[in-house]
Amino acid sequence: MTGIVTLTAAGAIDATYRVGILRRGAFARADSYTREVSGKGVNVSAALAAGGAPTAAVVVLGADDVRFARCGLTAPLLRIVEVPGATRVNTSIVDADGATTKVNAPTPPLSAEAWDATVSAVRDELAAREQPWLVISGSLPELAGTHALVDLTAVRAAARERGARVAVDTSGAALDALLADPAGIDLLTPNVDELSAAVGRPLTTLGDVVTAAREIVARGVGIVLASMGADGLLAVTDQRVVFARAEAPHVANTAGAGDAALAGFLLGLTRAPAAEAAGADPLAVAAASAAEWGAHAVAHASTLVAGPPQGIRALVDTEPDLTRALNPEGDA
């Protein structure tokens, strides 16, 4: 069985409040409230499943919330690694203008036993699939009793053993550690701020983004999929650049758009052989799919998407104007 395995080492419960007006320091009563099992890898798997791809989401969750997780819409996708206590809660507040204010709870540390169980779950899910993808998403927790993040060496080794291609969507210290040793990373998905931090300089044009992405590719990464928020996205390899942008029908909630875009890119790659046989550009097909799924997610009130994009078509440019300036507010 082929498929895509996602790893969320810091699972979460996403709480989304919709309010009319959000004012700092003022009382606000929510018009609606949703609560769902989340974490970036879970979001990716949910979008993949909505697109018809076989997927499994390895996710670390607190025991207090496992019953809730097993009753949710994503329950069939979840491979839960249970740890004591409650799962962290990430809160999104969406106002009437569609602006999303997001507060993520701190990532709790994992015990060595819990991390071993997580690695074992990833290994088992990869072993059940032929030529799979492994998507490592979101924050990485510290190993309990240390001041160091959990070590991905065993996870990456499991991917190599199974011939899995590896996609990574993380930031901060976890991204720094991976970029110091990027061997075996086939796809990296930073936003502009994360890419800027990785190369140590501001990025103000499409050309700046491409140059920075190529520096990452030169370290051994296959493809950099750089998200520029409202400015669209760029898929960059050592030889190619593809720009794609899709307009959302409306803005309901920007949380989770990057996860849906990653899922869309992977869904596009699964169609690459057929696209190439039909004379289409596989990288352009994947980039268009990423932009369309990202726009689709923005129009959803919740973090998780339901069903594939309908009526959303991406603008794709295989020779973009690299002098184009980025919108300072473009990255969400």
* Per-residue pLDDT in tens (0 to 9) along the chain, 332 residues: 569 999 999 999 999 899 999 998 999 999 999 899 988 999 999 999 999 999 999 999 999 999 999 998 889 999 999 999 999 999 989 888 878 898 999 999 999 999 999 999 999 999 999 889 999 999 999 999 998 999 999 999 999 999 999 999 998 889 998 999 898 899 999 999 999 999 999 999 999 999 999 999 999 999 999 999 889 999 999 999 999 999 987 776 677 789 999 999 999 998 777 777 777 789 999 999 999 999 888 777 666 777 788 889 999 999 999 999 998 765 44
Residue 70 is assigned to a structural domain of this protein? yes
At residue 13, what are phi and psi to the nearest 5 degrees?
-105, 125
The confidence score (pLDDT) of residue 332 equals 42
CATH number, domain containing residue 143:
3.40.1190.20
Residue 170 is assigned to a structural domain of this protein? yes
Residue 331 is assigned to a structural domain of this protein? no
The confidence score (pLDDT) of residue 97 equals 84
Burial of residue 147 (number of CB atoms within 10 Å: 0-12, 13-18, 19+): exposed
Active site residue: 65, 169, 231, 259, which one?
259
DSSP 148-171: SBPP-HHHHHHHHHTT-EEEEE--
Q: What residue numbers bound the domain in which 68 lies?
A: 4-317
The confidence score (pLDDT) of residue 175 equals 92
Distance separating alpha carbons of residues 122 and 154, to the nearest angstrom:
10
Distance separating alpha carbons of residues 258 and 331, to the nearest angstrom:
10
pLDDT tens digits, 136-158: 999 999 999 998 999 999 999 99
In Å, how far from its chain's centre is CA 78? Answer: 16
The confidence score (pLDDT) of residue 331 equals 46
User: How many CB atoms are closer than 10 A to CB 267?
Assistant: 23
The confidence score (pLDDT) of residue 301 equals 65
At residue 169, what are phi and psi to the nearest 5 degrees?
-135, 90
Residue 63 is assigned to a structural domain of this protein? yes
At residue 152, what are phi and psi to the nearest 5 degrees?
-85, 5
Residue 284 is assigned to a structural domain of this protein? yes
Q: How many domains does the chain have?
A: 1
Asked if 176 is an active-site residue, the reply is: no
Q: Residues 332, 242, 171, 6: is their CA dihedral positive or negative?
A: positive
pLDDT tens digits, 42-68: 999 999 999 999 999 999 999 999 999
Residue 231 is assigned to a structural domain of this protein? yes
The confidence score (pLDDT) of residue 168 equals 96
Distance separating alpha carbons of residues 309 and 306, to the nearest angstrom:
9
